[in-house]
């Protein structure tokens, strides 16, 4: 029984999302199919973007960054770029998802989180392609893989969690206020340089690393990703946990804000 | 009978001006405490109930809040005040085809749009053939939808939306486009859902189709329920309101024998239809009038050619004796030169009362012939 005055509690709204998971899957399948049917580069974008960004980074920043984890700069940075491509794609597309589906938002009901989650899922497919690329190209750049690779599912989950936690509130804000998307492009750029992508985390003093892991929830998962995929080292679990805790706080607050704003969306999007 | 849909004192106000809203100005406005003008209430204190298996029409002039009521019922938006309760799943037919993606094939769209509307994969698999058959798209299934004609796209969208068997169905004149045969099938589908126990809320300007499809109707005027009862009476109230307020929708286009606007007639009464004309043309103009009973075709009609530049005012068509049985009818007009491609537009509406009020069989048009029966022995 739906009653308009009741805002659903967390448990019920997650239960409803799970009940409607086919809707999420449908949104994701739809955007993936359309993307890969239309663009010539559709499939290749997940692979080309990290490779292309690697070139200027490797040429200009290699000297100052040394050899992260003992492997060449290019190898570790390529892995970080693949993870970053996922993160920025998931957050950008997720934040824009409700505006992209504005027609449906105005005309039908579905759990408003669905298109945002679908964008993260679609970005995960890109991440898989990126991993395949790194598996092939990595060894040529000097990447190493060790037993720590078993951490991959956990780290990918952490990346997806961070992306979702940030995309959800942004999606609602973007749908309500039109200037958010302009700020978003700039913020993503800033975020790239504030995250250990172009440079390894080892550059920071150990004390500072934890603070950064809390302040920027992308820190832990990104650092863990490059360690296990290219450096053959174990991830720093403490940093990973700190980032996930930070993302949890942001995510919960963000979801609460999202559910408050969601009923207004169909009137203004 | 449990109520499937309940509105309790529902008020809906849309916030502020539509248009560009920026976070920056929103934050700065709060500090300056700008006073914004109080927005109009689209709905004000609306209360009604619809039970399972009941079919209710909502009629009223444009801007009365009908579409808002539907969107509230479909959970698409929330009331500013009051409560909306819905038991079960809601299906909304509001501009169907919104979720169809042109780059994907018809088949892919059935799967994906169906899932977005809430159908499980199993249900879609079970109803797939029905959807294709209803839409008559067997041969175009694997073509991308952007290659479909607009009629095909509409049929696809409607069939998918109709495959959802909701507990509450809200329909917002989504049937207003599409060819006549398809519209009839859509109304039949609605009726089938009612028989299966769904609650149907049908918003339409087409008063005659509301009368055929619903037993009960609500009249919404300026966001308030002005009438709620048997469909005949509510339609009558609406027509009376139109005549009183001179709504340009139908105001002075249907006149009685005395030349004054009238909305209710008896079979055999004189009736005059009045078409406003601009004297702009310097060529003879063909004017066609039609009377419809809720179907998208004319059951009675007449046309004439008006000499160029002869009239500045209106064209009157006098019918000495109205050959129509009781029911609700609409007057449509098509003026060559003014209406593009010979399209028709609604001019007004009227009711015929008295006589046999029993429901008539589908094959019998509501036109009297003043017939006399006689048995001739061999």
Q: Is residue A21 part of a domain?
A: yes
Angle, in degrees to the nearest 10, between helices A73-100 and A180-194 = 160
Q: Is A33 on the interface with B (CB under 8 A)?
A: yes
Confidence label for A215 from pLDDT (cuts 50, 70 and 90): very high
- CA dihedral (B146, B152, B154, B155) positive or negative: negative
How many contacts, defined by CB atoms under 8 Å, are there between A and B? 108
Q: How far apart are the first and last CA of chain B?
A: 57
Q: Which residue of A has its CA nearest to B97?
A: A104
- The answer to whether the CB atoms of A34 and B103 lie below 8 A apart is yes
A20: tokens are 């409607």
Q: In whole angstroms, what is the distance from residue B163 CA to residue B266 CA?
A: 42
Confidence label for B112 from pLDDT (cuts 50, 70 and 90): confident
Strands B313-319 and B254-255: unpaired
Measured in angstroms, the CA of B348 and the nearest CA of chain A are apart by: 30
SS3 of residue A138 by DSSP: helix
Is the pLDDT score of B30 beyond 60?
no
pLDDT in tens, B207-260: 878 888 889 999 998 888 988 999 888 988 888 777 666 444 444 688 888 888
pLDDT of residue B362: 62
Q: In whole angstroms, what is the distance from residue A192 CA to residue A121 CA?
A: 21
Q: Which domain holds residue A156?
A: 10-268
Please give the full DSSP string across B64-113, using - where no structure is assigned. Answer: SSHHHHHHHHTTSS--SEEEEEE-S-EEEESSTTTT--TTSBHHHHHHHH
How many DSSP H helices and E strands does chain B contain?
8, 17
Q: In whole angstroms, what is the distance from residue B200 CA to residue B257 CA?
A: 39
Q: What percent of chain B has pLDDT over 90?
A: 12
pLDDT in tens, B209-221: 888 888 999 999 8
Answer yes or no: are the C-beta atoms of B322 and B355 closer than 8 Å: no
Task: Considering only the beta carbons, identify the residue of A109, A179, A180 that sits closest to B90.
Answer: A109
Q: Is residue A3 part of a domain?
A: no
Answer yes or no: are the C-beta atoms of A49 and A41 closer than 8 Å: no
Q: In whole angstroms, what is the distance from residue B324 CA to residue B254 CA?
A: 15
pLDDT in tens, B132-169: 998 888 998 999 998 988 788 888 888 888 888 888 88
pLDDT of residue B33: 47
pLDDT of residue B247: 43
Task: Please tell me the total count of domains within chain A.
Answer: 1
- The answer to whether the CB atoms of B72 and A179 lie below 8 A apart is no
H-only helix segments in B164-252? 180-195, 207-213, 231-245
**Considering only CB atoms, which chain A residues are within 8 Å of B87?**
1-2
Answer yes or no: are the C-beta atoms of A65 and A199 closer than 8 Å: yes
pLDDT of residue A239: 93
Is the pLDDT score of B21 beyond 80?
no
pLDDT in tens, B36-63: 556 678 888 899 999 989 999 999 887 7
Q: Is residue A5 part of a domain?
A: no
Q: In whole angstroms, what is the distance from residue B269 CA to residue B274 CA?
A: 16
Q: Is residue A4 part of a domain?
A: no
Q: Average the pLDDT over each of A72-81, B109-118, B171-180, B262-271 and give the range with the smallest value.
A: B171-180
Task: Considering only the beta carbons, identify the residue of B72, B83, B115 that sits closest to A3.
Answer: B83
Q: What percent of chain B has pLDDT over 70?
A: 80
pLDDT of residue B161: 83
Task: Considering only the beta carbons, identify the residue of A1, A23, A108 that sits closest to B115.
Answer: A23
Q: Is residue A148 part of a domain?
A: yes
Q: Is residue A30 part of a domain?
A: yes
> At A30, which helix (H) or strand (E)?
helix A21-38
pTM of the model: 0.76
Q: Which domains does chain B have, with CATH numbers?
A: 3-236 (3.40.50.300), 248-353 (2.70.50.60)
pLDDT of residue B308: 65
Please give the full DSSP string across B116-157, using - where no structure is assigned. Answer: HTT--HHHHHHHHHHHHHHHT-GGGTTSBGGGS-HHHHHHHH
pLDDT of residue B164: 84
- The answer to whether the CB atoms of B22 and A173 lie below 8 A apart is no
pLDDT of residue B248: 47
Most confident of A218-222, B91-95, B136-140, B362-366: A218-222
How many Cα atoms are found within 13 Å in the side-chain-facing hemisphere of A179?
Answer: 8
Is the pLDDT score of A79 beyond 60?
yes
SS3 of residue B184 by DSSP: helix
pLDDT of residue A40: 65
Q: Is residue A212 part of a domain?
A: yes
SS3 of residue B50 by DSSP: strand
Looking at residue B257, the DSSP 8-state letter turns out to be T
B181: tokens are 């045969």
Confidence label for B32 from pLDDT (cuts 50, 70 and 90): very low
**Considering only CB atoms, which chain B residues are within 8 Å of A26?**
111-116
pLDDT in tens, B290-346: 998 766 778 899 988 887 666 677 888 999 999 998 777 888 888 876 666 677 877
SS3 of residue B34 by DSSP: coil
Task: Considering only the beta carbons, identify the residue of B76, B108, B121 that sits closest to A109.
Answer: B76
- The answer to whether the CB atoms of B86 and A109 lie below 8 A apart is no
pLDDT of residue A41: 65
State the CB neighbour count (10 A cutoff) for residue B88.
Answer: 16
pLDDT in tens, A116-172: 999 999 999 999 999 999 999 999 998 888 899 999 999 999 999 999 999 999 999
Q: Is A205 on the interface with B (CB under 8 A)?
A: no
Measured in angstroms, the CA of A265 and the nearest CA of chain B are apart by: 8
Q: Is residue A2 part of a domain?
A: no
- The answer to whether the CB atoms of B20 and A178 lie below 8 A apart is yes
**Best mutation site among A2, A169, A172 for testing chain B: the one with the most B CBs within 10 Å?**
A2
A58: tokens are 């490797």
- The answer to whether the CB atoms of B20 and A266 lie below 8 A apart is no
């Amino acid at each position: 029984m739906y009653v308009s005055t009741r805002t659903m509690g967390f448990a019920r709204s997650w239960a409803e999302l799970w009940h409607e998971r086919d809707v999420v899957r449908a949104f994701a399948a739809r955007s993936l199919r359309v993307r890969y049917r239309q663009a010539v580069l559709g499939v290749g974008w997940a692979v080309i973007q990290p490779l292309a960004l690697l070139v200027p980074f490797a040429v200009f920043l290699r000297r100052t960054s040394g050899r992260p984890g003992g492997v060449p700069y290019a190898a570790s940075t390529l892995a970080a770029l693949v993870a970053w491509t996922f993160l920025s794609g998931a957050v950008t597309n997720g934040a824009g998802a409700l505006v992209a589906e504005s027609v449906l938002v105005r005309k039908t009901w579905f759990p408003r989180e669905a298109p945002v989650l679908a964008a993260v899922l679609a970005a995960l497919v890109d991440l898989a392609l990126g991993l395949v690329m790194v598996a092939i190209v990595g060894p040529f750049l000097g990447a190493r893989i060790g037993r720590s690779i078993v951490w991959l599912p956990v780290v990918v989950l952490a990346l997806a969690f961070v992306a979702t936690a940030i995309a959800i509130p942004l999606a609602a804000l973007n749908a309500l206020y039109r200037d958010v998307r302009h700020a978003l492009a700039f913020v993503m750029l800033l975020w790239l340089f504030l995250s250990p992508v172009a440079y390894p985390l080892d550059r920071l003093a150990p004390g500072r690393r934890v603070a950064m892991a809390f302040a920027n929830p992308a820190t832990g998962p990104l650092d863990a990703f490059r360690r296990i995929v290219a450096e053959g080292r174990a991830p720093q679990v403490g940093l990973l946990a700190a980032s996930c805790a930070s993302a949890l706080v942001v995510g919960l607050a963000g979801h609460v804000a999202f559910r408050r704003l969601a009923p207004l969306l169909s009137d203004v999007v | 009978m449990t109520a499937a849909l309940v509105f309790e004192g529902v008020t809906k106000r849309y916030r502020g001006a539509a248009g560009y809203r920026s976070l920056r100005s929103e934050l700065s406005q709060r500090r300056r405490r700008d006073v914004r003008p109080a927005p109009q209430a689209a709905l004000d204190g609306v209360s009604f109930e619809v039970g399972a298996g009941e079919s209710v029409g909502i009629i009223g002039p444009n801007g009365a809040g009908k579409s808002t009521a539907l969107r509230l019922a479909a959970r698409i938006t929330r009331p500013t005040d009051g409560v909306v309760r819905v038991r079960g799943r809601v299906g909304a037919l509001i501009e169907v085809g919104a979720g169809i993606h042109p780059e994907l094939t018809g088949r892919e769209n059935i799967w994906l749009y169906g899932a977005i509307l809430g159908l499980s994969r199993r249900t879609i698999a079970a109803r797939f053939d029905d959807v294709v058959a209803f839409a008559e798209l067997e041969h175009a299934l694997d073509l991308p939808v952007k290659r479909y004609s607009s009629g095909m796209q509409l049929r696809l969208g409607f069939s998918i939306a109709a495959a959802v068997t909701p507990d509450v169905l809200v329909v917002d004149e989504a049937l207003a486009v599409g060819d006549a045969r398809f519209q009839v099938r859509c109304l039949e589908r609605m009726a089938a859902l009612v028989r299966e126990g769904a609650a149907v809320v049908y918003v339409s300007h087409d008063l005659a189709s509301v009368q055929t499809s619903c037993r009960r109707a609500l009249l919404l005027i300026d966001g308030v329920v002005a009438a709620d009862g048997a469909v005949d009476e509510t339609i009558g109230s609406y027509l009376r309101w139109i005549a009183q307020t001179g709504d340009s929708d139908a105001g002075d286009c249907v006149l009685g024998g005395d030349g004054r606007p009238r909305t209710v007639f008896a079979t055999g009464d004189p009736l005059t239809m009045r078409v406003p004309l601009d004297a702009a043309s310097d060529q003879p103009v063909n004017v066609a009038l039609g009377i419809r009973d809720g179907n998208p075709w004319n059951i009675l009609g007449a046309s004439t050619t008006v000499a160029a530049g002869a009239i500045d005012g209106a064209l009157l068509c006098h019918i000495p004796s109205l050959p129509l049985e009781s029911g609700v009818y609409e007057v449509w007009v098509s003026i060559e030169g003014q209406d593009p491609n010979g399209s028709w537009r609604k001019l007004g509406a009227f009711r015929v009362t008295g006589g046999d009020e029993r429901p008539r069989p589908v094959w019998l048009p509501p036109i009297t012939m003043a017939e006399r029966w006689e048995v001739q022995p061999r």
